[in-house]
Amino acid sequence: MRENLASVSSPNMAFTDCMKPTELAADKGIKKKNWRNRIRLLLKTNSTQRVKNRLCRPSVDDVNQWAQSLDKLLSHKYGKIAFCIFLRSEFCDENIEFWSACEEFKKIKSRKEMVSKANRIYEEFIKSEAPKEVNLDFHTKNAIAQSLHKPTATSFLVAQRKIYNLMENNSYPRFISSDLYNELYAAAAREDMDVES
């Protein structure tokens, strides 16, 4: 259920599976606007496609489950997207991007591809002064640097857990009590009521 990192970290955060090409083009125009515009785009419906599109939007039950744990939030397609939007608004989206890159890294089977991806992750997130450097201690960074010549599927596991814990203890509680989450819940409740009537 976890999606590709590229779809989450794209600059325009397009929700491609539920949108028409014209809606995707419209998304490019909101690139620099706030999260409310992005969520409105996610929840946007018209009367002829309401039931069809409802299948790819979060329900009240989905949004309620997001509040149960960070793991449930990240395992839901739109929960993860909403959390990414929230983290961007707080200028700490490198954490979810790193976590997602580690999830993808664990799936790699090819040794050559693993070495290449490990080096990209290190250069982008771990190395001092990296463009999206995550907050890790020296020992963790050093252990990763030493494993780069012969990486394994668990090379980033300790770092990934530390970033997950950081998100779980800091960003996630703020997300659950944020206006963004409350607006998503209210929109999902309205959609549920509209579908029932």
**pLDDT band (50, 70, 90) for residue 66:** very high
Buried-exposed string 60-92: b where 16+ CB fall within 10 A, e elsewhere:
bebbebbeeebeebbebbbbbbbbbbbbbbeeb
CB 163 within 8 A of CB 98: yes
How much is the pTM?
0.72
Q: How far apart are CA 56 and CA 28, in angstroms?
A: 21
Buried-exposed string 9-22: b where 16+ CB fall within 10 A, e elsewhere:
beeebbbeebbeee
pLDDT tens-digit series, residues 78-116: 999 999 999 999 999 999 999 999 999 999 999 999 999
The domains of the chain, with CATH numbers, are 58-193 (1.10.167.10)
Copy the structure tokens of residue 3. 């999606």
